[in-house]
Amino acid sequence: MLAGFHEKTIPVYLHSSVVCKPTGMRVAGSFFKRCIVTPRMYQPGFAVYIELELMGRQIAVSMQQEDEAAFLSFLSGTADVVLYRSWSPRPEPVTSFIQEDLASPFWVHNLAFPWQASFERVDYYEKATGVPGSYFRLQTRGAPLLEYSRHPIHAPEPQVGGRLYWAKLFVSQPSEAAYDLAAFDAWFTSIAKWVRKHGKKVRHGGTEPWCLPAARRSLQNEL
């Protein structure tokens, strides 16, 4: 998100902004997903513009394979769910949180929220060998998906951690949503409660994720 007055722009902490009517000119520039710690106050006439896709709810989390299996079992108990992975070799869902580095992040589709998956084929060349390759990228914009990014548990001083994330839209913009935001919000809340119930916050570098049991044991060994 960017805040700006005419031609001046600064990054703003996504969770400390107040939704309001724009009072200035639209600003241009890059969007930042990362945050500043202290919320800012702005004088009248200072316009705040928000990229809706970046707004959402999230909870920092660290899971190992054992934890991921328990998490998937929990999700399956709350709804009929379908999983998708990053760098997918085929335009189709997967049956589990595959143990490949490139598979993360994953996306979870709760079938209670109607949506049709679509993929974009991406062609590339291996940097080292020049050998061509391709993968299928899931189109996620505006979709009712829960994103799961793995925590870099073996990194000595990570600054970015794992998370569960929902890129919801503002409730003040219901026309932008093609599904029930309130129902999805309630589902996300139940997921966050499960994570807090079974996890424990552990400081790891610049992060402090909720570590589930196997991840906590692994992280304690790393530390």
At residue 55, the pLDDT reads 64
166 and 90 co-located in one domain? yes
User: Is 0.85 topped by the overall pTM?
Assistant: no
Handedness of CA 192, 196, 198, 203 (dihedral sign): positive
Residue 141 pLDDT: 86
- Return the pLDDT at 175: 57
Q: By C-alpha distance, which of 193, 194, 192, 203 is closest to 161?
A: 203
DSSP 8-state assignment for residue 153: T
Range of the domain at 65: 57-222
Place of tokens 């009248």: 44
**pLDDT at position 15, please?**
40
Q: Are residues 15 and 87 in the same domain?
A: no
**Omega before 105 within 30 of 0, i.e. cis:** yes
Tell me the C-alpha to C-alpha distance, in Å, between residue 8 and each of 11, 31, 34, 164, 194: 11, 14, 19, 33, 42
Q: So what's the pLDDT on residue 214?
A: 97
Work out how many domains the chain is built from and give that number: 2
Per-residue confidence in pLDDT tens, the chain, 223 aa: 444 433 333 344 344 333 444 433 333 333 334 443 444 443 444 333 344 444 689 999 999 999 999 999 999 999 999 999 999 999 999 999 999 989 999 999 999 999 999 999 999 999 899 999 999 999 998 899 999 999 999 999 999 999 999 987 644 455 566 899 999 999 999 999 999 999 999 999 999 999 999 999 998 876 6
Do 34 and 110 reside in the same domain of the chain?
Answer: no
Residues sharing a CB contact under 8 Å with residue 69, sequence separation 6 or more, in sequence order:
96, 97
Q: Is the same domain home to 4 and 81? A: no
Extract the tokens encoding 93: 């869902």
Final residue before a domain boundary, out of 11, 29, 50: 50
- Edge-to-edge strand ranges of the sheet holding 81-84: 81-84, 106-110, 145-149, 163-166, 57-62, 210-211, 200-201
Distance between CA atoms of 111 and 76, rounded to whole angstroms? 11
Res 223: pLDDT: 61
Query: What's the confidence (pLDDT) of residue 169?
Result: 63
Are 174 and 113 contained in the same domain? yes
